[in-house]
Amino acid sequence: MEIKSVVITGGAGGIGGALDRCLVARGVETTVIVMRGATDAGGKGVVRADVSREEEVGAAFAEIERRGVRFDGLVCCAGIVKDAPLVGVAPGSFAPYPLGAWSSTVAVNLTGTFLCVREFAVRCIRARRRSRVVTVSSPAACGAPGQAAYAASKAGVEAMTLAAAAEFAPWGVTLCCVRPGLTDTPMAAAYPRAVLDRLARRSSIGRIYSPEETAEAIVFCLFSDTVAGCVVPLDGGIKL
């Protein structure tokens, strides 16, 4: 499949930013969708939108289409994490996980991915264009203590991707989901170093990946027709 143009959500930093730079270095035109207020974004074009809001996602893809961008590929990297136990227990008190934190995590990670995949796919199907979609999950999708909201949202991304892959295959729109392991991103930097080191030791390589390493693996999944209708672990064998 010829891919000359890719839309990236969450392209202002972390894995999305590294992926943007990686694709541009290969001569691929990129358009990144970033949150309003994001100050660092690359690519030939930048569109600002809150991926959890249907009207903003629709407007973003309409703007990308208006610019004449080819809808060859989409990679959904946008995501947030708000970790805490479902019920935090301390001497003499309980702290239930806030519904607002649950709702916002699911809204960005799962609903945001759904909205972007839907807007991208409907344009490809309408134009009879063969295209490629890669969504991004996490090892937390297998279940991670203290990450119930994040885990549920990423497990949902995986299941939705597989369902969409079956639906869209007859139209030439192929999908896969990647499950990156520990990557040196601003999101990971919010955790204590001791926690990251302990998790890294569980993997077969015993270290954290650079964003560029993870981006290179995603590029392979984006360009290879052999990776379709599946969830690809890029986690070095880590078990959370």
DSSP 239: -
CA 195/CA 58 separation, integer angstroms: 39
pTM of the model: 0.91
Catalytic residue status for 97: no
pLDDT of residue 41: 52
Which of 62-76, 118-132, 208-222 is predicted least confidently?
Answer: 208-222
Q: What is the mean pLDDT of residues 44-56?
A: 93
What is the β-pairing status of strands 5-9 and 29-34?
Answer: parallel
Query: DSSP characters for 72-92?
Result: -EEEE---------SEEEETT
CA atoms of 152 and 123, how far apart (whole Å): 29
Look up the CATH superfamily of 5-234: NAD(P)-binding Rossmann-like Domain (3.40.50.720)
- How far, in whole angstroms, is CA 45 from its chain's centroid? 19
174 SS3 class: strand
Please count the CA atoms within 13 angstroms of the CA of 92 that sit on its side-chain side: 0
Structural domain boundaries in the chain: 5-234
Contact 150, 110 (CB under 8 A): no
Q: Which sign, positive or negative, has the C-alpha torsion 14, 30, 64, 160?
A: negative
Given this model, what pLDDT does residue 183 score?
80
Q: How far apart are CA 71 and CA 77, in angstroms?
A: 17
Q: Could you tell me if 11 and 20 are in contact, meaning their C-beta atoms sit under 8 angstroms apart?
A: yes
Instruction: List all residues 6 or more positions away from 170 whose beta carbon is below 8 Å from its beta carbon.
Output: none
How much is the average pLDDT of 147-162? Answer: 96
Report how far residue 231's alpha carbon sits from residue 178's, in angstroms, rounded to the nearest whole number: 6
1: confidence class by pLDDT, cuts 50, 70, 90: confident
Res. 73: pLDDT tops 90: yes
CA atoms 8, 13, 19, 20: torsion sign: positive
- Among 8-17, 24-33, 157-166, the minimum mean pLDDT is found in 8-17
Reported as a single tens digit per residue, the pLDDT across 24-48 is 999 999 999 998 766 555 445 899 9
